[in-house]
Amino acid sequence: MTTEREWKWEIGSADLLDEIAGAPLPEGVEGGDWRTSRLENRYFDTRDRRLSAAAAAFRARRHEDDRSVLLLTLKEGHRREGAFHRMVEIEGRVPDFDPLEPWRTEAAPVRRLVELVGRRPVEVLVRFETSRLCRELRSPSGGGAVLALDTTRWADGGFFRELELELSADGKGDRWERWMLGLARRHRLVPSEETKLARAMKRMAAER
């Protein structure tokens, strides 16, 4: 179980995304190579939406570059202060996952899922794909972080672009916050007030 801590900002265009990717790093910060990946995301819930009622989410994610592994994540306790988001995550990697009998999958996030909803089947709530450009950052005084530039394609063909800076376990939020706030001011970024799941759910509801 870990606590995810990250800043999230909306990016209005592909050109702005490229501009931010080329922005200089703070003095003393070392940046790793940029990596690209495509993420296939599926969120599950019971038919009567017990997870949603418990303010929790269950995601299954595959990376395009390693389709033999499915990353399962149980998310709880989401809180937001401006652009800063915090939530508890339980993750586990498995070869596959049967939503009709999820309790048969041996993984920590599934055990927590069963604690929340019981031995019930789950179904796909929403699905979407994210193209991610990311790099690891390290600061002598601020610890580590991962900078990600995401382009998410919704089921209706629309796009959403977002900047994320996720703190590593040793990351010190105050050291990274100054850089993030300065970057947001320079590029006139708007804080992301919702998770990708919440946005996907709203778009799906609007289609009905």
> For residue 61, what is the domain's CATH number?
2.40.320.10
Contacts for 198 with CB less than 8 Å, ≥ 6 apart: none
Span 81-126, pLDDT tens digits: 999 999 999 999 999 999 999 999 999 999 999 999 999 999 999 9
Cβ atoms of 71 and 93 closer than 8 Å: yes
Contacts for 196 with CB less than 8 Å, ≥ 6 apart: 41, 128, 130, 152, 160, 162
Span 163-193, pLDDT tens digits: 999 998 888 877 788 889 999 999 999 999 9
Span 147-168, pLDDT tens digits: 999 999 998 888 999 999 999 8
pLDDT of 70 reads 95
Mean predicted lDDT score pLDDT of the chain? 92
Segments forming the whole domain that contains residue 178: 2-207
Please tell me the total count of domains within the chain.
1
Contacts for 166 with CB less than 8 Å, ≥ 6 apart: 4, 5, 6, 145, 146, 148
